[in-house]
Amino acid sequence: MELEMPDQRQPSFALIRFNRNTYESGGVMVVVRGRSAAEKVLQDFEWGQSENDRYSGWRYFLEESDLDPGIDAQKATKLRQMQLDLRESKSRPSHSRTILA
C-alpha cells in the first residue's frame, strides 16, 4: 500500500468558527492543505456540532490561507488576527493633510 503525500503546491485552508448572530469570532479551528481535505474537515465539524451550538449561531467557513497546515489553533488565530489588522490598517485613509498656499 502506497502512502499518498499531500501536494505541496495545493493551497492551505483555515477552518474558521464564527457566530452569525453576534459576529463573534471563535478563531481558527484547524489549517489543512488542499480544497478537498478542507471541505472534508468542514463537513466533519458541521456534523459533529451540537444542536444547541448551531442554534446559538455558531457556524464554520473555509478561508484560503498562507498558514502552515497543522499549526496550533491558538497560534493560527493570533497570526490570522494580526494579518486582518494589518490589512485593515492599510485600507484606512491616511490622516496626513496637505496644506496648499
Polymer length of the chain = 101
User: Does position 100 have pLDDT exceeding 90, yes or no?
Assistant: no
Residue 74 within any structural domain of the chain: no
Q: Return the pLDDT at 98.
A: 53
Q: What is the pTM of this model?
A: 0.80
Residue partners of 70: CB distance under 8 A and separation at least 6: 31, 32
**Alpha helix (H) ranges present in the chain?**
35-48, 51-55, 73-91
Residue 81 within any structural domain of the chain: no
The three-point CA angle 69-70-74 to 5° equals: 110
Question: pLDDT band at residue 52, thresholds of 50, 70 and 90?
Answer: very high
Residue 14 within any structural domain of the chain: yes
User: Does position 79 have pLDDT exceeding 60, yes or no?
Assistant: yes
The three-point CA angle 82-87-90 to 5° equals: 125
State the residue range of the domain holding 15.
9-66
Q: How far apart are the first and last CA of the chain?
A: 78
Residue 21 within any structural domain of the chain: yes
Residue 19 within any structural domain of the chain: yes
Q: Return the pLDDT at 3.
A: 46
